[in-house]
Amino acid sequence: ELKVEQNPLFLSMQEGKNYTIYCNYSTTSDRLYWYRQDPGKSLESLFVLLSNGAVKQEGRLMASLDTKARLSTLHITAAVHDLSATYFCAPAGNKLTFGGGTRVLVKP
Amino acid sequence: GAVVSQHPSWVICKSGTSVKIECRSLDFQATTMFWYRQFPKQSLMLMATSNEGSKATYEQGVEKDKFLINHASLTLSTLTVTSAHPEDSSFYICSASRAGGGTDTQYFGPGTRLTVL
């Protein structure tokens, strides 16, 4: 059974600084998704990473995948308040398995 | 493209009653639909996977007689929570994918918040 561990579970950020969220998973997966969830809302797709070494960037967010290490990272550059949300990673096996989520709070 | 809707967006019901939640793919045909449950401040947990025209596959620990899933067409799946109790109060999210298999991209609905009194 695929197990997914995200850390940290909570991240208090200062505006303008850089931070990284880590996603470790236990078994081989051929793709990995990152999602954002705002309070009371459903999931918003951020990235899908399809291969080892894949890197994708959108605005202040950059995601990467190392399939050998079974590790994905979500890097936030120069955090701004609008990025406050909960972020989930989800490697895909025969189904999506979600990490526990990282709650991000960006303070002025 | 790839829009998924859910109805209702929120529902309040009395304990012991049944509630039906609809999930529709609006602009594509969904071979597979998924139902997730999310408790406050927790992650999403897959409840079941349904393929059009066949019985749903439930995850371990999910009571199939309590959570009835019907995937009658390529654009509609329904989840019925039977004899709801307060512990069933949760955020229910469906997703849909064009092709079968868990690795295909899933498009998520906006969710349905169920409160059982």
> Tens digit of pLDDT for each residue in A35-81?
999 999 999 999 999 988 899 999 999 999 999 999 999 999 999 99
Contact call for residues B21 and B6 (beta carbons, < 8 A): yes
Residues of A in contact with B108 (CB under 8 A): 35, 42-43, 45
**DSSP states of B38-53:** E-TTS-EEEEEEEETT
Residues of B in contact with A30 (CB under 8 A): 103
Radius of gyration in angstroms for the set of CA atoms belonging to chain A, rounded to a whole number? 13
Q: Which pLDDT does position B38 carry in this prediction?
A: 98
The pLDDT of B37-46, averaged and rounded, is 96
Contact call for residues B37 and B16 (beta carbons, < 8 A): no
Greater confidence (B98 vs A13) lies with A13
What mean pLDDT value characterizes chain B? 93
Q: Which pLDDT does position B85 carry in this prediction?
A: 97
Give the other-Cβ count within 10 Å of B88's Cβ: 19
Q: Which pLDDT does position B63 carry in this prediction?
A: 95
What mean pLDDT value characterizes chain A? 95
Does the beta-carbon distance from A41 to B34 stay under 8 Å? no
